[in-house]
Each structure stands twice: as structure tokens, then as C-alpha cells.
Structure 1
Amino acid sequence: MIATVVLLALPLVATYLVATIWHRRFRQYAGIPQLKPSFLWGHLRAIHELTTLQSRPGLHPDHVFAEMARQLGHPPLMLLDLRPVRPPMIIVTSHEVAEQITRVSKLFPWSTPKSPTMSSLVRLTGAESILAKNGEDWKQLRRRYNPGFAPQHLMSLLPCILDKTDMFVEHLDRYAGSGEEFQLSKLAINLTFEIIGAVTMDVDFHAQHPESSGQGEFIKLFDQLLHMYGPVDNRFPWWMYPRREWRRWRLSEQIDRLLEDMIRHKHAEHQQQAGKAGRARDVLSLSLQDSKELTKSLLSETRDQLKTFLFAGHDTTGILLSWVFYELSRTPAALKAVRDELDDLFGPDPSPAAVRRKLLAPGGEELIHRMAYTTAVIKEVLRLHPPGATARMSPPGTGFRVRTSDGQSFCLDGAILYNCATIIQRDRTVFGDTANDFMPERWLGDKVGIMSAGAGGGADEDAGRKLPAGAWRAFERGPRNCIGQDLATIEARVIVAVVARRFDFVKVGLGELDLDAEGRPVLDEKGQFKTKSELYSVSSVMAGSGRASIPPPPPPPSPPPLRVTAQSMLTVIDRRSR
């Protein structure tokens, strides 16, 4: 009897499954531009074929999506059906649509909720991370930590940033003297890790120690954990790699214990110094200053925010610096403009000590705001090589809709909403024929610059701008824009001020200059030195923005490690005097 029922039910079940898959593949998002889907695999096969055609190992998916957009005629949004591996994804390529996702609406008072795919990073950021919170929970956390990242507070930390930068310069001096090739990105990331550690916790992680054996236990564990988020296996659910997930959990537990000890120590210090003048200014101290009791929930919540800030605050800025010095190394006019500006602001002496004296003198912080061309360079690098992106999701049945410039309306419920900054910030309808070119001059005279002011997406924000405000979203926009963007841009300008006149950087390997018969670099028609090959972004788990949340896939872009040689200040002076 049972066997008969099962046999009769099988055709019904099969019919139901086929009808369900057919609806989801071909009907559910039928109105959204997309490649031809497969009944069983959706767009997984098509994306694999596009990736294979690129012939660039490890190429970041954003560039694959850009080719997908080209084949579809550059629509404002596209569907990528990754089921059964991942939920379907809407790739947003228009700044106008992206603004609708990140701004405040009647449905979502704090913008569209973050995507639940953030859970794949729980070992790095913690379950209570501000990146994964939504609604009132997110609002309270943001309010609690905002003072630690306020520009006026960050400017008071200039001595700390300069101290850490001095150590960075010592490393560069050593390599310049030896002529040895080295990875600039690794040095830069170690520098920014020390800065974020000092800013958030007033802790020295010894990340810049010349020998890895001299680095602190925390930095070693954190580095091991980061390296367990590879560019390939991170695109699939954790349960497909149980052994790897267990190792991640073990490392995360060790990191948690170290952080909790630091938090307890800091809280005890506050209790001892209660009522005394001269409060500490790091983010951790600011977050604990009104808490008499360190409860278990406060301890875990604080720990996870620190993990998030450390994760989000070091890789992106370190990679930004690598791209800055690479772009300057192959764009002589931009390098000269940066150096001329620094000479005007800090005087002809390019030594770190001279820059320090100027910055720490009365009114010195105003010099940072006057670094107009340097700021334009940083903004242009962030446009071409954005450090992160945002992934949101409107729950099924919510009725969240976006409208395109041609009047079409799309319901995006139930899909990951990925604002693809790499495509949005290279939009030819906004940036013209130079959309893919490094051209800092496009940002000169820009109304707001790169600080958080004006990044909220207000209706009057485009007034007086040459370009739409929403077309540049390296730190995302709206109420959930990057909490650490001011720190990133302040420290980047300080480091460029100290380093740019002292060293030349010469790329080795991928992206190196193509020299003529006499060994001299050759300018192309765009004013850049010709290169033998293209340096491109690869997949890597780095910090996103919000620091945007990270949509796995794809993780935010990062350049491959830059292997460079540095030449001493004397070489720079001799070259410029000629």
C-alpha cells in the first residue's frame, strides 16, 4: 500500500519541483536584464564561461560583471541567478538605482537592510557586528561609536598617525638603501593595522616589526584567520568545507579571548580613573566611558565591534595606498602635481620631520584640508579601485521597488542587492570617454571632497557639483555609509604627504613599465607610462564599506601585492633639479 502511494506521489512531486524551478528560473525575475539561464544551474555556467574568457588568474568578479553588462547593453541592473549555491543577486550598475537602495525610504527608515549573506564573515567580524545589524539595533551601535570616528577627534590623533608613519618610512629607507624588491602592499597594510589598533584600542600590535616573529600574538592569529578566506572556496556555503570552518572557529575563539582580556583591562582602567581629567581618546575608551558594569552582553558586543573595525580598517586603507603609489609611479604629471602641492604647503624640505613639524604646529590640521590635488588623487584611486561594496536585501513580500531613468519599475524582494561600485564608478554616461582613465583633475573643485560630510544622499547634494554625488560611492552612501571613511582619508593624506616626495616607486612584475631601447619609460597618448601588462584587481576577502557589507560572492576587490623598489630622496631631488 505504502509503495503504491509513493509511486503515485512521485509524478506529482516531480511535477511540482519542475514547475517551481521553472518559475524561479524563467518567471520570477523575468523582467530584469540577464544572460540566458540554465534550467538546472541558472547563470553559474554563463559566469564560469565569462570568467574563463578573461584569461586573468584570480580576476575579481566585478570585472566579469562588467563584461556581462557590456553583453547586455549596459542595463541599470542585471540578474545573476546563483541558485542552488547562493540566493539570486541583482547587480546594480546605475548610480540612480544604487541611491534608491541606500537612501532612507518609508519602507526602510535606515535604508534597505543588509544582506544575510554577511553571516559568512561571522568568524572575522562576530555575530554582533555593526555590519550585520539592522534597524534600531544598528542605529544604537552607530550612535555609540560615531564619536570615536568624528573628524575633529581623528585630527587629535595626528601624532599617533605620524609616529606609525615614521616606522613605515624606516622600512622604505632600508629597502631603498639595499635595492631589494619587496611587497609594498604588505608594508602598507601593516602600517594601517597599527594605526587602526591605536585609534580603536590604544594598543600597539607591533604589526610593523621588521621580523614576523616580533609581531604580537594577536596580529599573527588575525593574519592566519584572514588567509583562511580564500577567493574561491568563500563563494560557497560553509557546510561544504566543514574542516576549514572548524579551523576558522578555533582561530576566532583565540582572537575573542585576547580581545576580551584587552576590554576587561581597559574597563578596569576607566573605573580607577573615574572622575579624573584627561580621558583616553581611543574608540574603545569612548564606548566604555559611561558603563560602570562590564556585562557579558556588553563584553561580547564591544568585542565584535572591535573585530569589525580592525578587519575593516586596515586592509582597505593599506590597499588604497598601494594603488595610490602605483598610479603615481606611472603618471608623471600627477606625481609632479602632488609634489608641487606638498612643496607649497610644507616647504621645500621633504623630510618626515619637516612634515611632522608643520602638521603638529598650530593650524597644522588645516594643511590636510588644503591638500586639494592629493585629495583628488586619492578620490580618483578610490573611483577606479573601490575598496568595498554593499550587499542589501529586501525580505520577500516587502514590496520594495526601484525605478530606472527610463521609467521602468522593478520589485527586488528576495534577492541580494549588490551595488557594484566598480561598474558604477566607471560609467561612461557620467565620466565620459575617460571613465577608465586615471585623471585626478576631474575632482578638482568638487564640492565635498572625500570626507563623510555630504555622503548622506540628501536631495540638494548635487548643487554646485560637476558630477552626480551618487556616482562616487567608494565608502557607500546614505545613513549606513562607512563609519571609518574619515580615518581612512585623513591617514592616507598624511602618509602621502610624508612619503610622496621622499621615494620613487618602480613596479616589478605584473604592471611594470615598458622601457624603450635606452631603458627609459615611454609616455602614451594619455600621459601615462606604457606598461608591459595590466595590473588588475583580484578576489580577496578585504574590508567592505559600512564599512560596506561584503556580498559573498563577490568579496571586495584588492590589487595583487605590489612588488616595488624604492629609490632614495636623493634620486628624486637630482631628477627634479634637472
Structure 2
Amino acid sequence: MTFLNDYFVLNLPGWRLFIIACFMVIGIKTIKFFVELCRVRRKFQRMQREGLPMPPHHPVFGHLKLIGEIVSRLPSDVHRHVLPHQIKLLYPSLGPLFYLDTWPFGGEILVAVGPDAAYQMTQAHPLPKFHAMREYLKPMTGGNDLVSMEGKEWRKWRTIFNPGFSASHLMTLVPDLMKDMSVFCEILRKAAVNSDIVIMDHLTTRLNLDIISRMALDTNLNSQLETNDFVSALLSQLDWLSFGHEVNPFQRYNPIRPIVNWWNGRRMVRYIWRELDMRLKRRNIINKGIQVTRSKSIIDLALDNYLATKHGDNTINAMDNAFRDIATSQLRVFIFAGHDATSSTMCYALHLLWTNPKTRQLLIAEHDTILGTDHKEAARKITEDPYILNRLPYTMAVTKETLRLYPSASTARSGESGYFMSGTDGLQYPTEGFMVWSNSHAIQRDPAYWPEPSEFLPERWLVEEGHRLYPKKGTFRPFEFGPRQCIGQELAMMEMKIFLILTAREFEIRSVYEEWDSLHPKAGPKTLEGDRAYQILSGAAHPSDGLPCRVKLVGN
């Protein structure tokens, strides 16, 4: 009988064997899907019975039904990091830790929406980065970057790159930064003359690409004024990034994505390698005693540090392959992260100053006092004395309050076997198998920590401890805390100060969403809690529709 069965199968036409094989694969995957579905749903049902906090859990749909109901009331493109805050609004009894079951479109999540909970996972016991984040960033960075690294390798390369991001070193780069800011201001002047609607996020994105590439690589992309292949590749790659959680299977399993990712990655690597070779040639010329201006870029400092550690001196005849590969990934992540978050913060600062004119007047008053009443002299004064930026407390307060209301990202970590987080309720929260998500958006808008949490109040950063507005420790987390806090936060804050100084007094920049919506009508909700400039996912969190604006010269 076995012989007959084998003979029958082996003599089937090839196309029939293919169909049978396909059905077998589909059948096996379907069985595995439902087995995993049952495992996850039963796990959460058990946790719910044990009293671990979570919204009401459906035995079949998990929390997908709840999330679907919330999302249906929000703009379709809203950033998903707003969801924990929306859930807390619906279920205010939820504490600083709660679970979410979003399988199969997301995963099993432990959400941290309190400062102590966030402290546990990032400082007291720093958990490793969530694996999906590494996969998400790999097409952009190549994979050997500080965001993706762990353990000794991460510590080694963080140490090598730290000097380039120190506050003292960044001050030496201010004159170069002013060049790109001046180009941006000239673009705004032309926009004011033409009276056209400008998409501010597009302008600030290219401004920050020029700045971070100059800071990191000592190269002038000039993307504000002309097309650049590296910039085109990076922005294209940004559009194709995916966490693999899309509901639409054609988006989730798009066969074109790997091809586009490969091509864009190749273009970025080719550009960076060419620039690295130029750095090496300049270094060799300097070592021969020829007078050449020495670069102060982040990559040059990193190369100095690397050579001193590896060779004990500062000489090199050929680019070390290990350094080239790692440096390429680091530069890709620096340029990506360095432009993405700050460009968004610049947009939101302009939006908030337009909608809060009293704050803008106070900001202008500080600039007049410290820098003089002639705004045209500000750039020269900052270039001559960059440390004057440290004498602007209200400007810093405006920046911090912008970051509080509109943080560009959160951090996601991987839970570990045997590691439990402690809740204020006395419960122990298992982390194994969960994505542990410190959600800065929810923490920074929680009325338990922030009086008048939805109001733009820079004054809360200037009051003394004991005042009702004084920020509670650990509740301001736009750059996160702990050993893996953002390496570029000093650069971001410095950029924001200069940006506000050069724009607040010369330009009146107003967001024009009503006009934009009349020209580009679309169905569905258009605001989040009344905010038309809600955040969308585009790498980091950016303003919806790119913040359409009109620009006017002050006094005209």
C-alpha cells in the first residue's frame, strides 16, 4: 500500500504537486497562527484574572477591538504613540504600568506611563533595545549603529563618539551651523515676498540635514538649495521604513521594499565612503606637516579617538575596514536621527509661538535684552561668542515646553526572563516576552504630574521647586534617561536656541490649516483633542500635512 501511495504521488503532474505543496504550507501556517492566537489570548485572560492592570480584554480580539474603536475617532494618519494616553483617558484607573494585547498586528506590550516605571527599565535595570526597532532601522543604518548595538560593543563605540557630541566641542561648530541657518532665513524671506503657502516641515528637514551632515561629516549637502543624491536616498528610505505591523497585507509584504531599501542603502554608503576617504587624505596631508585647516567634525574626533585606542597614535595609511563599516552605520543613524527629531521640534515651536502670541513677545524681549534690539546683528554676535546661548533661560524654556507637548519618539525595550517591574500598587509585572514601552507622550501629558498638561506654559521651567508648576523629577523624557539617552541632545538644544533667535524677531510665521483644508479636503477626523497639528509617523513624529504656513516679514 505504501508503494502504491508513493508511486501515485511521484507520478502526479508537477503543477498538481505545486498546488498540494502550497495548500500544505498554507494549512501549516494557519494552524500555527491559531495556536499562537490561542496562546496569547489565554495568557492575557489569565493575567487579567490575576489582577494585572490592563483595559478590558476580549478573549478573541484581545485589545484590538478597543484600539480600533479609539483609532476610528482619530485622524487616520495619527502617530500611534498617542494611543496609551488615549487609553488612559478612557480608563483613568489604570496606573503607571499596564498591558496591551495587540497580536498579531503588534505584539504583547507592557506600557510604562509613569516616571518610576520608566526609571526602572532605562536606568535601574536598562533593558536591551526592542528587536523590532533594530529591524526597522536596519535599511536606514545598515545595522551596526548605536541604536542597535548592545553590551560591550555599544559601550566601546559610544565612548568613541561621545567627544564629538560634548557641549564644549559643539560650541566650536557654531560658526559652521550659522551658515546653514542663514540659508534657511533667506528661503523664508523669499517665501514672505512670494506670499505662497510653504510646508514648513520640508524646509526644516532640509535645514537639519545640512546641519547634521556638516557637524558629523564636515560636508556641505546644500540640500536646501539643490538636489543631493544622498538626501534623495535617505528621504526615500524614510518613506519605505516599516515595522511590519501594517494591516494591509500589500503594504506589509510589499515585494518592492527590499529592492528599494537595497538601492537607497547603496547610494548612501557610496556617498559616505567617498567622504571618509577625503577625511583620510586630509589627515595624511596634516601629518606630513602641510598647513591645512583641521576638521572639527564628529567623525574626525571619533577617528582620533579610535586610532589612539587601537594604535596608540594618530597615524593611518588606509581606512580600517572595521572602522569604515561601523562609522558608515553610525553616520547614517546620526544623520537620520539628527535631522528627523529636531526638524519636527522646530515646526512645533513655530506653531506654538503663533498660537501663543504673549509667549512670543516674552521670547522676543529676552532676545532684545541679551542680543540687542537689531535682529540682523544676532548671527554675528552668536558666531563671535557662542556661549551667549547659555544666557537665554526663556528660550530654553520654550524649547523644553515644545518638547514636552510634542516629543518626537519614545523608547521600546525587550523584556527579560526573570525580570519583573514593580508597580506603585505593590504588584510585580513580568516582562519576559513583552515589548516594554516607555511612552513619553503619555507621561508628559499626564495631569498627575503636570498641572494644566495641555497648555503651553514655558514658565513651568522657570519657577522654583515647591511651585505647583515645577516639573516632577523624571517626568520630562524627550531624550530619555540612563546610559542610552540620546547622544545628540546637546546639539538639538543648541540648534533650537539659534533657530528661535534667528526666526522669532524677523518673521511672523502662522500655520494656515483652515486654508490648507479648503484646498485639500479629506474625509474623517482632522484633529486630536482639538489639535490640527497632531503628530504623524514619518520616521519620528512630525506635524500633520507638514505644517502648512504663510511667512511674513515683521513690520511689513
Q: TM-score range by the shorter chain?
A: 0.7 to 0.9
Other-structure match for 1:222: 234
Q: Is 1:317 the counterpart of 2:342 in the alignment?
A: yes
Q: Is 1:357 the counterpart of 2:380 in the alignment?
A: yes
Residue of 144, 164, 176 corresponding to 1:160: 176
Cα distance in 2 for partners of 1:136, 1:497 equals: 41
Q: Is 1:507 the counterpart of 2:491 in the alignment?
A: no
Other-structure match for 1:190: 206
Cα distance in 1 for partners of 2:529, 2:469 equals: 37
Cα distance in 1 for partners of 2:529, 2:422 equals: 43
Other-structure match for 1:253: 266
Q: 1:173 to 1:44 in 2, by over 3 A?
A: same
Q: Is 1:63 the counterpart of 2:78 in the alignment?
A: no
State the Cα RMSD in Å.
3.1
Other-structure match for 2:449: 430
Other-structure match for 1:284: 299
Cα distance, 1:123 vs structure 2: 0.4
Letter in 2 for 1:329: W
Other-structure match for 1:76: 96
After superposition, the C-alpha distances for 1:378-397 in whole angstroms (9 at most, x for unaligned) are: 100000000111111123x2
After superposition, the C-alpha distances for 1:442-471 in whole angstroms (9 at most, x for unaligned) are: 001579xxxxxxxxxxxxxx9x99322310
Residue of 200, 211, 224 corresponding to 1:208: 224
Cα distance in 1 for partners of 2:37, 2:196 equals: 62
Q: Is 1:328 the counterpart of 2:356 in the alignment?
A: no
Cα distance in 2 for partners of 1:189, 1:446 equals: 36
Other-structure match for 2:550: 565
Other-structure match for 2:284: 271
Q: Is contact 1:130–1:138 with CA below 8 Å preserved after alignment?
A: yes
Q: Secondary structure at the match of 2:287?
A: coil
Cα distance in 1 for partners of 2:231, 2:44 equals: 45
Cα distance, 1:139 vs structure 2: 0.7
Q: Secondary structure at the match of 2:73?
A: helix
Q: Secondary structure at the match of 1:431?
A: coil
Cα distance in 2 for partners of 1:420, 1:31 equals: 22
Q: Is contact 1:93–1:420 with CA below 8 Å preserved after alignment?
A: yes
Q: Secondary structure at the match of 1:99?
A: helix
Q: Secondary structure at the match of 1:103?
A: helix
Q: 1:152 to 1:236 in 2, by over 3 A?
A: farther
Q: Is 1:442 the counterpart of 2:442 in the alignment?
A: no
Cα distance, 1:536 vs structure 2: 3.7
Cα distance, 1:21 vs structure 2: 4.5
Q: 1:443 to 1:38 in 2, by over 3 A?
A: same
Other-structure match for 1:489: 493
Q: Is contact 2:479–2:486 with CA below 8 Å preserved after alignment?
A: yes
Cα distance, 1:264 vs structure 2: 2.3
Residue of 108, 122, 126 corresponding to 1:88: 108
Cα distance, 1:321 vs structure 2: 0.7
Cα distance in 1 for partners of 2:450, 2:136 equals: 35
Q: Aligned residue pairs: how many?
A: 504
Residue of 125, 137, 145 corresponding to 1:129: 145
Cα distance, 1:226 vs structure 2: 1.3
Q: Is contact 1:346–1:358 with CA below 8 Å preserved after alignment?
A: yes
Other-structure match for 1:535: 532
Cα distance in 2 for partners of 1:62, 1:132 equals: 21
After superposition, the C-alpha distances for 1:25-72 in whole angstroms (9 at most, x for unaligned) are: 422575432233344543223212210123x23112222322212223
Cα distance, 1:79 vs structure 2: 1.4
Gaps of 5+ in 2: 6-27, 308-315, 518-527
Q: 1:300 to 1:72 in 2, by over 3 A?
A: same
Q: 1:231 to 1:136 in 2, by over 3 A?
A: closer
Cα distance, 1:205 vs structure 2: 0.8
Cα distance, 1:557 vs structure 2: 5.4
Q: Is contact 2:184–2:207 with CA below 8 Å preserved after alignment?
A: yes
Cα distance, 1:250 vs structure 2: 2.0
Given the two structures, how large is their TM-score scaled by the length of structure 2? Answer: 0.84
Q: Is contact 2:139–2:265 with CA below 8 Å preserved after alignment?
A: yes
After superposition, the C-alpha distances for 1:70-104 in whole angstroms (9 at most, x for unaligned) are: 22324212212222334311121111100111104
Cα distance in 2 for partners of 1:46, 1:84 equals: 15
Cα distance in 2 for partners of 1:493, 1:82 equals: 40
Residue of 374, 383, 406 corresponding to 2:404: 383
Cα distance, 1:478 vs structure 2: 0.9
Residue of 389, 395, 401 corresponding to 1:374: 395
Gaps of 5+ in 1: 4-9, 106-110, 448-461, 514-530, 544-555, 572-578
Cα distance in 2 for partners of 1:234, 1:127 equals: 22
Q: Is 1:116 the counterpart of 2:128 in the alignment?
A: no
Other-structure match for 1:301: 326
Cα distance, 1:472 vs structure 2: 0.1
Q: 1:533 to 1:422 in 2, by over 3 A?
A: closer
Other-structure match for 1:339: 364
Cα distance in 1 for partners of 2:268, 2:282 equals: 21
Greater Cα offset, 466-475 or 476-485: 466-475
Cα distance, 1:297 vs structure 2: 2.4
Cα distance in 1 for partners of 2:340, 2:500 equals: 17
Cα distance in 2 for partners of 1:242, 1:125 equals: 20
Q: Is contact 2:345–2:403 with CA below 8 Å preserved after alignment?
A: yes
Cα distance in 2 for partners of 1:444, 1:14 equals: 54
